[in-house]
Amino acid sequence: MTYLLINLNLLQVNYDIIQQYLKIYDDKRMNIKSALLDFSKENIGNLSSTYKWPINLDHLPIQLNISGDGSYEKNIDLRFQLHSSYLSSETFEEKYSLIKWYIYNWGGVKTNNQKTLELYTSSSPQELIERGAQGIASWSKALSIINPTEYAIYDARVAMSINALQIIYDIDSHEYYPPLLSRNKTINSCKEQIKTTIKQWKKAKDTDFYQNYLNLLKEVANDLGNNVTHHDIEMLLFAYAEELALLAVEQVYAQNKLSEATH
């Protein structure tokens, strides 16, 4: 089976990028893990240059000296330094101030009120996970500093990338990951354009998909080796979200055109 030729004028996506990702082989149909592993093998070496998220330590309630050469290294160091500070915090107020800063200031999520942030601070990881998709872009940030060895962030960009990869690689059995509202216009636009496609996919229980997501990241990181962690895979998905979103839209458009032509 050869992959579909797509209308390059539709979204003005660079053809070289399309060739890099649209790898559907005659003798191999991928599952979600093999697709993410294939994508990660090709791009993990570029993580330090492609991951961009600014760090502004204003209003941070503690003093930290963040090290690292670029945004990726600095954000990894920040996450683990906040974890150490969280563990050494002696009061609820100290823990709350760290979690609030990471969600509100670092993450830019301004919609949580004080009661909600207190809930994210006082709840156990399992209690937060049982909330399902509700507030996950915030409470997964809290979990990523409470216990970064175990948890990772799930946000709109990550969700888009996981769903987009399944479209791009035309995997054999799709798994639905809840899309989230983004502040990024490209992500939101593409989310609307692929929503009919992904709504047809198999859905895990709302309380299970986050653990499935963590397992996926860890399995891919383990297969890659070379000290790659689940945080690296999370950040890789974050970094490539816009590119993958546009490629997925192109693929859906091409599939729809083929379907129209054959009916």
First-to-last C-alpha distance (Å) of the chain: 20
In our burial notation (b when 16+ CB lie closer than 10 A, e otherwise), range 166-176 reads: bbbbbbeebbb
Helix or strand or coil: residue 101? helix
**Whole-model pTM?**
0.88
- pLDDT of 17 reads 55
- pLDDT of 256 reads 79
CA–CA distance, 178 with 169 (Å, rounded to integer): 19
- pLDDT of 121 reads 97
- pLDDT of 27 reads 43
Domain edges within the chain: 15-50+155-261, 71-146
Beta bridge partners of 25: 28
Q: For residue 167, which phi and psi values (nearest 5 degrees)? A: -75, -45
Dihedral sign computed on CA atoms, order 220, 222, 98, 62: negative
Alpha-carbon dihedral 110, 135, 52, 221, rounded to 10 degrees: 160
Q: What is the pLDDT along the chain (263 residues), one digit of tens a residue?
A: 333 333 444 444 454 555 555 544 444 568 999 999 999 999 999 999 999 999 999 999 999 999 999 999 999 999 999 999 999 999 999 999 999 999 999 999 999 999 999 999 999 999 999 999 999 999 999 999 999 999 999 999 999 999 999 999 999 899 999 999 999 999 999 999 999 999 999 998 989 999 999 999 999 999 999 999 999 999 999 999 999 999 999 999 988 777 777 76
Q: What is the pLDDT of residues 205-253, one digit of tens each?
A: 989 999 999 999 999 999 999 999 999 999 999 999 999 999 999 999 9
User: Which residue do the tokens 């003093």 mark?
Assistant: 63
- Looking at residue 256, the DSSP 8-state letter turns out to be H
